[in-house]
Amino acid sequence: MLRSYLARAQKVDAATPDSRNREVDFLRAAAITVVVLGHWTIIAVSATGGIEPHGLLDQARWTHPLTWVFQVMPIFFLVGGYSNALSWRSARRRQTGYAEWLRARLRRLGLPLIPLLLIWLVTCIIALAFGAAPAAVQLASQMALVPTWFLAAYLLVVIVAPPCLMLWEKWGWWSIVFGIAAAGVIDVISIATSSPLLGYPNYLLVWASFHQFGYAWLDGRLSTFKRCLLLFVIGAIGLGLLVGFGPYPVSMITAGTDTISNSSPTRVTMAFLGMAQAGIVLMLQRPLAALLRSPGLWMLTVLVNQRIMTWFLWHLTALTAFAHVLLAVHADALLPTPLTGVWWLTRPLWALVLLAITGVLVAIFGRFESPQPDDRPAPPTWMPIAASATICAGLAIMADAGMVNENGVAWIWPLLPLVGMVIFGVVRLPRGRSRQD
């Protein structure tokens, strides 16, 4: 098996163009993997406490500074900026319009949602029909759908990526400065009024502004060690000042013990965290590029990227399902008290079991990341924008509240993205003998 893998890896390595930036693919895969492993560690499951979404962070405040390392969503937006700019410029050269380009991006990001939402919708219906407590079903669905908040935020950034690229090409660094400054103003208003809702525009402002560092990377504006070091210093000092003297908590991941969250809604602190992280990884770009010349490591990077959306979307479904099985059969011996020595020693085994379960889910549902080629004419511009709106609205609500409320299944939220993708042309409906996505 190893020999076959290495032989295939040699072929993939040889077929990869020299112009491809392998570091982008590696950082994308690494960021999502860190997020997955982080979720599997932070969420505590015990025989006495059940499932605690913020268990580790709530019970051990000493872990909060570690989130400056393990909150790596900014890295995903960094590589997203690089990839989206490359993709849009390629589309412009081919004279592909914005609507067709956006629909293609939505198909790549949106189609893997279909089985996840349908299966959780059916699961909620069955669970309630068999007498499960609505609060328990709500928590389970909300936990499993936590990854969708990121997808909703990323879709918002994809929508504005082309106009933001125009701003970058015209104004350069000032386009980032003004965006982050505006996000700071939103934070001041939101925190001063104790209204997280007023901070919601920063899901777009913060991430769209930081996303442009990917444009700078692509354009060679972050190619020197000195510039990357300066970016790190600005990010580290800014983050230190905001946390040390401002109202922001230390944890970059939402903790139940904090009155303000850095990530829900997104705060300006995330932009400075991203600058510090981007400065570090880009300073290491050359040694990383050399490392990725290894066919074995490059092959692993390619495999993860081929199914990265499925891997990300389903990893908390794996945890939620496994945890409920253990709790249902009263497998107390397999659920040690969080933060005890036994709990820490069993974390690698816990991760391996969840990895196996997620691997099965990826094998089953990964095909949705490889849709049939789309040769349809370009749609009207409003259609992919409307599809994006329905997807983002449904995902944002479910990531916060799940699919169930006190009245039962909240049908509108899971159906909104699904129906939107069909009505507004993301899903390619069959004609004659053609196959549906």
Residue-wise pLDDT tens digits, 393-403? 999 999 888 99
Q: Calculate helix-pair angle for 147-171, 73-93, nearest 10 degrees.
A: 50
The number of residues making up the chain comes to 437
Q: Write down the pTM of the prediction.
A: 0.92
263 closest CA partner among 39, 108, 44, 110: 39
Q: Calculate helix-pair angle for 225-245, 269-283, nearest 10 degrees.
A: 150
Q: For residue 9, give both structure tokens.
A: 């890896």
Instruction: Give the integer Cα–Cα distance in Å for 168 and 162.
Output: 10
Asked if residues 44 and 338 have their Cβ atoms less than 8 Å apart, the reply is yes
| Cross-strand pairs, 404 | 409
372 closest CA partner among 437, 433, 422: 437
Look at the block and give the residue holding tokens 């000032």.
174
Q: For residue 237, give both structure tokens.
A: 């000092």
Cα radius of gyration (the chain): 22
Instruction: Give the integer Cα–Cα distance in Å for 235 and 308.
Output: 28
- List the chain residues with pLDDT less than 70: 431-437
Q: How many CA atoms lie within 13 A of 219 on its CB side?
A: 15
The DSSP code for 219 is T
pLDDT in tens, 88-107: 999 999 999 999 999 999 99
Q: What are the residue ranges spanned by the domains of the chain?
A: 21-371+383-423
Helix (H/G/I), strand (E/B), else coil: 306: helix
Instruction: Give the integer Cα–Cα distance in Å for 173 and 209.
Output: 10
Look at the block and give the residue holding tokens 């107390």.
332
Asked if residues 272 and 242 have their Cβ atoms less than 8 Å apart, the reply is yes
Instruction: Give the integer Cα–Cα distance in Å for 255 and 336.
Output: 22
Pairing of strands 50-52, 404-405: unpaired
Q: For residue 146, give both structure tokens.
A: 């936590």
The DSSP code for 51 is E
pLDDT of residue 9: 87
Q: How many CA atoms lie within 13 A of 242 on its CB side?
A: 23
Label each residue of 230-274 as H, E or C.
HHHHHHHHHHHHHHHHCCCCCCCCCCCCCCCCCECCECCHHHHHH
